[in-house]
Homo-oligomer: A and B are copies of this chain.
Amino acid sequence: MGTTQLDTVQEPKYWHLKTVLSEALDSEFSVGEILPNERDLAARFGVARATLRQALEQLELEGRLQRRRGVGTTVAPPRMGVAVGSEQHAWPGAAGDAWQLVDCTVAVPPAAVADILETGREEQVHTVRRSRVTHGQHVAAELLYVPASSVPALSAIDAPSGAARARAVLRELQHLDLEAQDRAVELGSARADDAKELDRLPGAPVLVVTTRFYAEGRTAAVSVATYRADTCRLTFGDTGGVEIHHDSERRAS
């Protein structure tokens, strides 16, 4: 990349810098390539390191860069498309649904979830933890909240623990008649536990997908899935039964 001077304009330096870097990434770097370190880059552009970092943060947010402490900054591959619309309505755990069981506990859910489930704010529910791996990348962590009333066959005490218990909860769920589901997407920042599972630092930007499952006229379960915002593009197949071909579900290694 050239050592182009930053013109003295009435535009924040970090914004200008981001543009310059972005163009350099397009033309002079290939996916996976390592950039010079932050101190060198800052010196090359004649700005303080903090300013340079502001530009890099933006580019990372847009999925153009990937930074790892102790390693360096690399050019990120294009975001991968991750199907969220879920082909037809199906309970979590239906045949091969891209999610991998981690474990299951019984715990009091966050107040926001309790309100949606219409359980009391102190009431414990089954909490299944799952994680999603796509194209070899860890892209999402999920917590699935299932009130005991949705899986009456499961006694809270006799079920085995961990993954076996998780399987049991999901198996019981399939017995219910799924009437509808409801989804919302919003921006969030990764909690410490999710961040660890996603191999990011706490606070990393994530797309939070909240899904509400309806059965027997009420909310039978709620899923809160946390997707890495830097590497994922969430896709919703709304194709009305028509088969669509994409050549865009790619991700270079």
A residues in contact (CB < 8 Å) with B: 15, 18, 58, 61-63, 79, 81, 85-86, 89, 179-189, 202-203, 205, 207, 214, 229-230, 232-242, 244
Contacts and interface: CB of A to CB of B under 8 A. Distances in A.
Given A181-B239, A183-B238, A189 B85 contact: no
Contacts of A62: 187-189
Contacts of A79: 186
- The CB with the most chain B CB atoms within 10 A, among A62, A85, A186, is that of A186
Contact of A205 (B15, B187, B237): B187
Copies in the complex: 2
Contacts of A15: 202-203
Given A15-B203, A188-B62, A202-B15, A179 B240 contact: yes
A187 B229 contact: yes
B186 A234 contact: yes
A240 B89 contact: yes
A181 B242 CA distance: 9
A187 B187 contact: yes
A148 B230 CA distance: 34
18 contacts: A58-B203, A61-B187, A62-B188, A79-B186, A81-B184, A85-B183, A85-B236, A89-B240, A179-B242, A180-B244, A181-B239, A182-B236, A182-B239, A183-B235, A184-B236, A185-B185, A185-B207, A186-B229
